[in-house]
């Protein structure tokens, strides 16, 4: 069942969304060769608590950390560790918090130092796929319209759109209905209505879209070990169109 939010609830989620976007920006400034993902996780928790929120990933289905840190061929949900980032890596930071009773959730992929042209293209295309998906979140469109737009754009760029994971509704629960796959058919699925709040999160691979479990038992990585990228924003549907709540 899709939970419709009031204007007041969306306002609270926008407040939390802006705070989590600011925190992610602070983490971005710490990204450099030699830093461990555990250090990023510890900083994220301090910043979340300082902002008046609480970590919402920590303890969720047993997840032991505040953020997810997925490097190179890792796609999502990987646990921070003593592993050091190095030049040429890309790292996806997936972060969320609970704020005034409502959840927030967002993700971005960042380069560490200089990266190849192919890797830059992967990041650019994934970010653009997210923007294209958001543009389709208009009242009267369907979830399938969003999914199909993401899939068609990614596949025209000769990249693999991950099919085994999806975006989701969000509110008082971290994961709510509807599910928002990154592939699908137009004019199918739930109709988009005013008051819906959900996360759109294209995940894209240079190679094939199939996944396997990461070594930590929580994360997922590409089955062919090709590089992967992940961007996610939290969107509210209003009478004036979609609003990105995880904006600076």
Taking only the tens place, the pLDDT of each residue in 57-75 is: 999 999 999 999 999 999 9
> Class of 7-244 per CATH?
alpha beta
Q: What is the mean pLDDT of residues 170-196?
A: 98
Cα angle vertex 204, ends 72, 71, to 5°? 15
Spatial separation of the C-alpha atoms in residues 142 and 163, rounded to whole Å: 18
Taking only the tens place, the pLDDT of each residue in 27-37 is: 999 999 999 99
pTM over 0.95: yes
Taking only the tens place, the pLDDT of each residue in 221-243 is: 999 999 999 999 999 999 999 99
**What is the domain partition of the chain in residue ranges?**
7-244
Distances (CA, A) of 58 to 65, 67, 98, 230: 5, 8, 11, 20
Residues 6+ apart with CB under 8 A from 11: none
Residues 6+ apart with CB under 8 A from 227: 72, 73, 90, 119, 122, 205, 206, 207
């Amino acid at each position: 069942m899709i939970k419709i939010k009031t204007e007041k609830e969306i306002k609270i989620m926008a407040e939390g969304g802006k705070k989590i976007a600011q925190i992610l920006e602070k983490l971005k400034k710490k990204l450099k060769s030699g830093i461990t993902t555990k250090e990023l996780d510890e900083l994220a928790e301090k910043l979340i608590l300082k902002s008046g929120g609480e970590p919402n990933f920590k303890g969720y289905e047993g997840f032991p950390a505040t953020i997810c840190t997925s490097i190179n061929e890792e796609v999502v949900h990987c646990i921070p560790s003593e592993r050091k980032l190095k030049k040429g890596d890309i790292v996806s930071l997936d972060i969320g918090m609970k704020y005034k009773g409502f959840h927030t959730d967002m993700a971005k992929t960042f380069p560490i130092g200089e990266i190849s042209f192919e890797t830059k293209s992967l990041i650019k295309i994934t970010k653009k796929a997210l923007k294209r998906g958001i543009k389709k979140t208009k009242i009267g469109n369907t979830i399938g319209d969003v999914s199909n737009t993401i899939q068609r754009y990614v596949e025209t760029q000769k990249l693999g759109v991950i099919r085994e994971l999806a975006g989701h509704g969000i509110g008082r629960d971290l994961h709510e209905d509807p599910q928002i796959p990154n592939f699908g058919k137009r004019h199918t699925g739930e109709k988009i209505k005013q008051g819906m709040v959900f996360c759109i999160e294209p995940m894209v691979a240079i190679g094939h879209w199939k996944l396997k479990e990461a070594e930590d038992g929580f994360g997922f990585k590409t089955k062919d070990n090709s590089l992967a990228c992940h961007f996610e924003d939290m969107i509210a549907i209003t009478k004036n169109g979609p609003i990105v709540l995880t904006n600076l």
